[in-house]
Structure 1
Amino acid sequence: MLSIFPGMWFGKGMAEMRIRAFLAGAVLALAAVLPAGAKERLVFMTDWMPQAEHGGFYQALATGLYEERGLEVVLRPGGVGMDPQTLLAAGAVDGAMGSSGFFVLNLAEVGAPVVTVAALFQKDPTILMSHPRDDVKSLADMKGKPIMIGDPSVNTVWRWLKSRYGFEDRQIRKYSFNIAPFLIDKSAIQQGYATSEPYTATKAGVTPQVFLLADNGFLSYSAMIMLRRDIVEKRPEVARAFVEASIEGWYSYLHGDPSPANDLIRRANPEMDQATLDYARARMVEYGIVDSGDADRLGIGAMTEARWQAFTDEMKGLGLYPAGLDWRQAVDFRFVNQAHGKEIRP
């Protein structure tokens, strides 16, 4: 059984946003599968309208991976005006997609009853991009030059850029998430996502230079699975079923036939076209957004204590969080790092 539900609107958190709407149901019995006859409903919010960056979740739904594990999953799309962190912390949804490590630290800081159980993107897709130009061949070359930055990034990613590359606030120009100013100004530099803005620019006749922050020292995970603490503690079999089916969905979406997920995405988001989906999926593979780094050895969804500690320490050093903040209060490793689903990858 499969159906698409109308999305709930929810806005940006400290990093970004999104989400959609869906469901599925059934039964099965295996090690990490729910008991026969069980049918557990789980509402999971993504961080924007349906797109390729959510492809693994839609693939798991479309191909029955959640259903096989006894789950009835509702994928709820996000959009402008709602905050997934707040909704999850308030118990309005069972889980949400965390777009950045800042989401996790924010929730840990306020003691929210939320646990991060998987990091599906080993690399945060955030980029800076410029027109082709001889004086900009690295992030370091952007020092002193005007850069268009969105308001949500000024106190997060921008502070990291200032610390790592010596950028200054006087370089900031407002980015209103409209690419038109970038297109007409050949000296422009702006932030974006590796899977999105470069494609929009290319379609408009500008093939940009792309600089992925993750390939230049930015340690944040992305596309994290965040669940209510009571689910993780009292119904760990539900958490494991959702995490492992989602991991299988991501392997299938990136290395198999993505059409089941893409069909659902286009139905849920009629403004999404196939060319955009193809571009985003190709960039996720090209940049190793999902299965690179620790995921090569530990499987998609991998997280490590060392990386969480390094990211937290760096953000504390920037003054973004108090010295006593403990990321361990908001992260649970028990459902990942077991190379689950790796046999799916060719």
Structure 2
Amino acid sequence: MTGPTRRLRAALALAVLAAAALTGCSTTESGSRTTADGLTEVRLQLQWFKQGQFAGYLAAVDQGFYKEQGLSVQILDGGTDIVPQTVLAQGQADYAVAWVPKALASREAGAGITQVAQIFQRSGTKQVSFRAEGVADPAALRGKTVGNWGYGNEFELFAGMTKAGLDPSRDVKLVQQQFDMNAFLAGDIDAAQAMSYNEYAQLLETRNPATGQLYTAADFTTLDWNDQGVAMLQDALWANTERLADAKYQDRTVRFLAASLKGWVFCRDNVDKCRDITVAAGSTLGASHQQWQINEVNKLIWPAPAGIGTLDRAAWDRTVQIARQTRNAEGATVLKQDPGADAYTAEYVTKALQILKDGGIDVTGTGFKPVPVTLTEGGK
């Protein structure tokens, strides 16, 4: 090593240490940072803005579950222009929440990510119509104006139509739907895409101009892709594949999962408290909407017979099959080939679940029952 090079590297090392000192953190050998009180800093990238969909992670911060595991977790908001798995692969986050087909597509394109826990066991996607449209099953979508968000959110819809004998490119009029229900309520869309925990609630928070009262479930028909056998896996936790070779990152992953899963257990048993935590975290949606959202998300997680965060292999295989076989309006599939062996690992979630079980935590929720939720106009 030459003298100038040695001096340059020494200067760079001092700069790193100085920056760490300014932020009250230090840098560990594995590249992570620690706070002044010795907690390891972790960044979790969400798919969307803070809301009930992510209540378990917010609760894990609020209730000190991450701190119990020696972690200080920063939760990063998502948005329309943020791809969580890309943020993770580029090293701008330590873990990310992402839907399985989208993350697998990113892997196929070169993103080095591995799924380490499957949080949602069931799909929350619905296709909603006014009851007067008579859409009792996917075949009844023929000739209808059908909305979808695109960006990989449409494949359950396309798989459902294909299974019913419809050609999505010819038998329906497809329209790009915004991330709201305005076009549907205005009558511009006959069947709109909605998440059970979000957009569907927005309908029930809206006043029916014909009655002056809020809409009710009786005003709509919904196609649930779980019932149609074409549901795809959604919210999962992903880690950086390359970093999983580091023993310290492996250990951190186990501790991060243990605290995150404990947060979801807490929200299963304390819906009202998690509603308040979510609202306080800065959600732009109101308290009754967040309570609905957490309650509906709980239905997607619980019961979890094998333990929260474990993967149902049949659901994984179905997701991959749909991603490989179902084509969008442009004729493209999500995946061109099956994902590699390092696309998923059960190693870390298994260890995390053992930590929780050793602590007397119920990780299966066998007796889970959703709570009654009363929505108010505007979800306030």
TM-score tier after normalising by the smaller chain length: 0.7 to 0.9
Residue in 2 aligned with 1:81? Answer: 81
CA distance in 2, matches of 1:343, 1:58: 19
Q: Does 1:326 align with 2:339?
A: yes
Within the candidate set 294, 297, 319, 1:284 is matched to: 297
1:214 to 205, 210, 226: 226
- Match of 1:246, SS? helix
CA distance in 1, matches of 2:179, 2:131: 21
Q: Is the 8 A contact 1:84 1:96 kept in 2?
A: yes
**1:343 pairs with one of 362, 365, 369:** 362
User: Partner of 2:183: helix, strand, or coil?
Assistant: helix
1:309–1:187: structure 2 CA closer, same or farther, 3 Å change rule? closer
Structure 2 alignment gaps of length 5 or more? 1-24, 26-36, 209-214, 328-332, 368-380
Greater Rg over alpha carbons, structure: 2
Say yes or no: does 1:314 pair with 2:322: yes
Match of 1:188 among 187, 190, 208: 190
Provide the aligned length of Structure 1 versus Structure 2: 304
1:304-338: CA deviation from partner (whole Å, max 9, x where unpaired): 33432332133222362565432422211112355
C-alpha distance in 1 between matches for 2:132 and 2:291? 28
SS of the residue 1:343 aligns to: coil
**Secondary structure in 1 matching 2:77:** strand
Q: 1:71 aligned to 2:71?
A: yes
Query: 1:141–1:162: structure 2 CA closer, same or farther, 3 Å change rule?
Result: closer
Match of 2:117 in 1: 118
2:20 corresponding residue in structure 1: none
1:154 Cα deviation after fit: 7.1
> Offset at 1:114?
1.0
Deviation of 1:46 (Å): 1.0
In structure 2, the residue matched to 1:146 is: 145
Deviations 1:34-83 (A, max 9, x none): xxx96321100111111111011111111111100111111111123222
| Secondary structure in structure 2 of the residue aligned to 1:115 | strand
Q: Flag the 1:274–1:323 CA change in 2: closer, same or farther, 3 A.
A: closer
Residue 249 (structure 1) aligned to one of 263, 277, 286: 263
Which amino acid in 2 is paired with 1:240?
Answer: V
**Secondary structure of 2:114's aligned partner:** strand
CA displacement at 1:120 relative to structure 2: 0.6
Aligned to 1:33: none
Residues 1:49 and 1:279: Cα distance change in structure 2 (over 3 Å): same
Which piece of structure 1 moves more, 314-323 or 54-63? 314-323
Alignment partner of 1:62 is 2:62: yes
Structure 2 letter corresponding to 1:290: I
- In structure 1, list runs of 5 or more residues that go unmatched: 1-24, 26-36
- Higher mean alpha-carbon deviation, 207-216 vs 108-117, is at 207-216
SS in 1 for 2:193: strand
1:187 CA displacement: 7.3
Provide the rounded CA distance (Å) in 1 between the counterparts of 2:340 and 2:160: 22
Aligned-pair identity in percent equals 19
Q: Report the Cα distance in structure 2 between the residues aligned to 1:104 and 1:154, rounded to whole angstroms.
A: 12
Distance 1:195 1:167 in 2: 29
Q: Is the 8 A contact 1:145 1:171 kept in 2?
A: yes
Contact 2:115–2:344 (CA<8 Å) still a contact in 1? Answer: yes
Paired with 2:251 and 2:228, the residues of 1 have a C-alpha distance of 37
TM-score by length of 1: 0.79
**Separation in 1 of the partners of 2:69 and 2:283?**
29
Query: What's the CA shift for 1:258?
Result: 4.3
**Given residue 221 of structure 1, which amino acid in structure 2 is its aligned partner?**
L
CA contact (8 A) 2:86 2:111 kept: no
Equivalent residue for 1:3? Answer: none
Query: Given residue 239 of structure 1, which amino acid in structure 2 is its aligned partner?
Result: T
Q: Which amino acid aligns with 2:238?
A: M
Select between 103-112 and 232-241 the one with higher mean Cα deviation. 103-112
- What is the distance in 2 between the residues matched to 1:63 and 1:257? 14
- Secondary structure of 1:303's match? coil
For 2:130 and 2:57, locate their aligned partners in 1 and report how far apart those are by CA, in whole Å.
Answer: 34
Q: Which amino acid aligns with 1:333?
A: A
Q: CA RMSD in A?
A: 2.6
Write out per-residue CA displacement over residues 250-289 of structure 1, whole angstroms, 9 at most, x where no aligned residue. Answer: 1110223541x4334223325221111111122234xx21
Is the alpha carbon distance of 1:179 and 1:318 closer, same or farther for their aligned partners in structure 2, counting shifts above 3 Å?
A: closer
Q: TM-score normalized by structure 2?
A: 0.72
Q: Structure 1 residues 54, 322: closer, same or farther in 2, change over 3 A?
A: closer
8 Å CA contact 1:94–1:227 kept in 2: the answer is yes
| Structure 1 Cα separation of the partners of residues 223 and 158 of structure 2 | 17
Query: Does 131-140 or 241-250 show the bigger shift?
Result: 131-140
Contact persistence 1:129–1:190 (CA under 8 A): yes
CA deviations on 1:95-117 (whole Å, 9 max, x unpaired) are: 1101x221231133123221110
For residue 128 of structure 2, give the secondary structure of its aligned residue in structure 1. strand
Q: 2:311 aligns with which of 303, 317, 320?
A: 303
Partners of 2:148 and 2:176 within 8 A in 1 = yes
Going from structure 1 to structure 2, the CA distance change for 1:324 and 1:203 (only over 3 Å counts) comes to: closer
Preserved contact between residue 104 and residue 330 of structure 1 (Cα < 8 Å) = no
Q: Given the superposition, is the C-alpha separation of residues 151 and 107 from structure 1 closer, same or farther in structure 2, using an over 3 Å criterion?
A: closer
Matches within 5 A, 1:152-163: 152-153=151-152, 156-163=155-162
CA-CA distance at 1:127 after TM superposition = 1.0
Q: Classify 1:134/1:148 alpha carbon distance in 2 versus 1 (closer, same or farther; 3 Å).
A: closer
